[in-house]
Amino acid sequence: MIESKKVKKILYGGDYNPEQWPEEIWEEDMRMFHLAHIDVVTLNVFSWAELQKDEDTYDFSKLDKIMELARKNGLKVCLATSTAAHPAWMARKYPDILRTEYNGIRRKFGSRHNSCPNSPTYRKYSVKLAGKLAQRYQGYDNIVAWHISNEYGGTCYCDNCERAFRNWLKEKYGTIEELNRAWNMSFWGHTLYDFEDVVVPDLRSEEFDWDGERRTNFQGISLDYNRFNSDSILECYRLEYEAVKKHTPDIPVTTNFMGAYKPLDYQKWANYMDFVSWDNYPSYDGTPAQTSFNHDLMRGLKQGKPFALMEQTPSVTNWHIYCKLKRPGVMRLWSYQAVAHGADTVMFFQMRRSIGACEKYHGAVIDHVGNENTRVFREITELGLELDQIGSTLLGSRAKSQAAILFDWDNWWAAEYSAGPTRLINYHQEIMQYYKALHEQNISVDLVSVNDDLSAYKLVIAPLLYMCKEGFDEKVRSFVKQGGVFLTTYFSGYVEDHDLVVTGGYPGRLKDILGIWVEESDALPPEEANLFTYKGKTYPAGVLCDLLHLQGAKALACYEKDFYEGMPVLTQNEFGQGKAYYVAARSNEEFYADFLGGLCEELSIEPAANTPEEVEAAVRENENGNFLFLLNHRGNTVNVILEKDGEDLLTGKCYQAGDRVTLEKAGVVILKRR
Ligand code: GLA
Ligand code: ZN
């Protein structure tokens, strides 16, 4: 939809389920949508049971009416394929479609996102349905995107999957000897004689209970199972992709992602998507940095191309443990936060609040009261008007970042499967320390994968890069040689792609770039910390403290306690034209802010703007100009002094450098600067 030539503005709308309502209500919905400036609806997300009553009987009559309704009312359609929940008859007749849990229990019919990705039944009927939908509705020129399935996810451990896993492994490793080597199967006498010996790594096989946490005895097996599961689900998506493209080659295809969602390697998935879309549901206690991080991660999946904000709640979710309302103005603020980070649509779940089952208390454009006299509807209408006014101005604009943070799904899986050295190893959290420090200084960050080109960045940070994949060290080496600045941390460079340790001292392949080697690592419990002083300030060092030796690098700070007092904790190595930094332990927010702030200053990495605390600033640029977003996340009114001239995109008011812009609580100002 964001790629479609039919789109001339930031689309505004969301998931609409008229099939849950009598037809009299539909006309009323249309009236309300027009009032609110809604112009897109996502249809048909969970209608498989309605569309296919049995093996051979398809019935599109209701969807036909709904499609007509949308067309007649000038609404664009994001058309879903309905394959995220299978029909009851299918589960009854073909139990192989049901998923098996980690504990080995096969599920019964129920819930959603419930089909085994390797079930031949699921693949056959999901693809058939997608194809039929595309064939039937190909003439509708208001379809702006295909929405395949919904929030793919989870893991299945059934017999279909076990068989498919063996084939996946045969393809990957060729021989059983190679598989035994890659998984280090001589350990605990695990040697396999045949691919038929492979079993799924679940509770029944490789479970390793680490004080109540689910880990695995064989990281290599579990890691490959994650890769396989992600690939299996991706295969389901791709089959549907092909099926719809056959009839509608020009309609872009997506599926809705969930931000930093661990089970699926979204970087791999994004290669098969025409554009990325995702669902943003910040927790009641979430921070602006966490939300921005998710947006940036999603934007990074396609190297900075705009993405679609496919879902957000207008007011409240039903599934958080405390379903706190978005305060007045916050829906607007968070919508613009998404846009500031690269969204080209603003969409909701859901258009009308259902009356039964678990989402009946989830926020909606049209609430249970059924009319427009609600706070939420008024806020939605006001934003709708603004988006009309903004029109196409911001479409396609991009962020320009000089700093990047590496994010890698394999590394995430591997680092957190590790048995030892500490349960405090948390990849996402470690990355957030660095991201937050930059975000709070309004420094634009791209979240990149190991396959992305690094050459445009001045600074690349790869926190907790436990698995340094083949070839990535070489990429970093040439990046630094050519003048780039690289930073990595404790628990990095330990293993290669199969989770086998690279011997010769940690951090393995990265040693020469960093000019150090790590001999031992001390995992401290949460209540303990070491200390170090950098530029006159003292900071804590905890979680995992590396005991390292310099091999060319210089120490910027040393531990001040314990038997490794005097050993380096922060190092810098000059390498080629560039520099490589190593942070040998977890420190605190203050350290990351000070240290990264200093680095950015040294590298002349400019913030989008200088703003008071909790006022976020981000920039997007396209041929229409350079747009500065100022987003007030504080609970009060605040002034921002501008460093450059600009014109308020919404009010037309002109400002000069040195002028003050006032932002109300939850206020947003977008300034066009050239
Ligand atoms: C997800 C789903 C929607 C709905 C919302 C509720 O994002 O895609 O179908 O369940 O959550 O928050
Ligand atoms: Zn399965």
Q: Please tell me the residue having the least CA distance from ligand 1 atom 2.
A: 151
For the Cβ of 114 lying below 6 angstroms from any atom of ligand 1, the answer is no
Q: What is the DSSP string of 576-635?
A: TTEEEEEE-SB--HHHHHHHHHHHHHHTT---S----TTEEEEEEEETTEEEEEEEE-SS
For the Cβ of 277 lying below 6 angstroms from any atom of ligand 1, the answer is no
Tokens found for residue 250: 């020009």
Cα distance between residue 403 and residue 82, in whole Å: 40
Q: Please tell me the residue having the least CA distance from ligand 1 atom 4.
A: 349
Tokens found for residue 268: 């791999």
**227-256 as b/e: b if 16+ CB within 10 A:** bbbbbbbbbbbbbbbebbbebbeebbbbbb
Task: Classify 357 as helix, strand or coil.
Answer: coil
Q: Which residues pair with 79 in a beta bridge?
A: 43, 146
pLDDT, position 601: 98
Cα distance between residue 266 and residue 665, in whole Å: 35
Tokens found for residue 196: 């038929």
pLDDT, position 532: 99
What is the distance in A from the centroid of ligand 2 to the CA of 98?
A: 7
- Taking alpha carbons only, the member of 97, 132, 88, 135 closest to residue 116 is 97
pLDDT, position 61: 98
Tokens found for residue 386: 């603004």
pLDDT band at 154 (very low <50, low <70, confident <90, very high): very high
pLDDT, position 212: 86
Whether pLDDT at 4 is above 80: no
Mean pLDDT value across the chain: 97
What is the distance in A from the centroid of ligand 1 to the CA of 326?
A: 17
Give the β-pairing of 668-672 and 625-632. Answer: antiparallel
pLDDT tens for 570-611 read 999 999 999 999 999 999 999 999 999 999 999 999 999 999
Say how many Å lie between the first and final Cα of the chain, rounded: 28
Q: Which atom of ligand 1 is nearest to the CA of 318?
A: 12
What is the distance in A from the centroid of ligand 1 to the CA of 319?
A: 9
For the Cβ of 274 lying below 6 angstroms from any atom of ligand 1, the answer is no
What is the distance in A from the centroid of ligand 1 to the CA of 236?
A: 20
For the Cβ of 9 lying below 6 angstroms from any atom of ligand 1, the answer is no
Mean pLDDT calculated for residue range 461-468:
98
pTM for the model: 0.98
What is the distance in A from the centroid of ligand 2 to the CA of 90?
A: 15
Q: Please tell me the residue having the least CA distance from ligand 1 atom 5.
A: 349
Give the ligand at the shortest distance from the Cα of 228. Answer: 2
List of residues 6+ apart from 563 with CB closer than 8 A: none
Which of 349, 350, 351 to mutate for ligand 1's pocket (most ligand atoms within 8 Å of CB)? 349
pLDDT, position 452: 98
Helices 375-390, 23-35: inter-axial angle, 10-degree rounding? 60
pLDDT band at 171 (very low <50, low <70, confident <90, very high): very high
- Taking alpha carbons only, the member of 304, 311, 298, 344 closest to residue 11 is 344
Give the ligand at the shortest distance from the Cα of 316. Answer: 1
Task: Classify 259 as helix, strand or coil.
Answer: coil
The H-or-E segment that residue 289 falls in is helix 288-300
pLDDT, position 464: 98
- Determine contact, residues 130/240, Cβ cutoff 8 Å: yes
What torsion do the CA atoms of 590, 595, 601, 607 make, to the nearest 10 degrees?
Answer: -50
Cα distance between residue 124 and residue 131, in whole Å: 11
pLDDT, position 211: 86
pLDDT tens for 175-232 read 999 999 999 999 999 999 999 999 999 999 999 988 888 899 999 999 999 999 999 9
Whether pLDDT at 631 is above 80: yes
For the Cβ of 16 lying below 6 angstroms from any atom of ligand 1, the answer is no
Q: Which atom of ligand 1 is nearest to the CA of 281?
A: 12
pLDDT band at 556 (very low <50, low <70, confident <90, very high): very high
Whether pLDDT at 3 is above 80: no
User: Which amino acids are annotated catalytic?
Assistant: 151, 311
- Determine contact, residues 334/295, Cβ cutoff 8 Å: no
pLDDT band at 647 (very low <50, low <70, confident <90, very high): very high
Give the ligand at the shortest distance from the Cα of 104. Answer: 2
Q: Please tell me the residue having the least CA distance from ligand 1 atom 10.
A: 359
Q: Please tell me the residue having the least CA distance from ligand 1 atom 3.
A: 349
- Taking alpha carbons only, the member of 347, 349, 379 closest to residue 362 is 349
pLDDT tens for 381-393 read 999 999 999 999 9
For the Cβ of 317 lying below 6 angstroms from any atom of ligand 1, the answer is yes
Whether pLDDT at 674 is above 90: no
List of residues 6+ apart from 320 with CB closer than 8 A: 281, 283, 284
Mean pLDDT calculated for residue range 414-424:
95
What is the distance in A from the centroid of ligand 2 to the CA of 197?
A: 18
Alpha helix stretches (DSSP H) within 138-264: 159-173, 176-182, 219-247
Tokens found for residue 575: 């390498």
Angstrom CA distances, 89 to 54, 99, 481, stand at 7, 16, 62
pLDDT, position 91: 98
pLDDT tens for 496-524 read 999 999 999 999 999 999 999 999 999 99
Q: Which residues pair with 655 in a beta bridge?
A: 646
pLDDT, position 414: 98
Whether pLDDT at 337 is above 90: yes
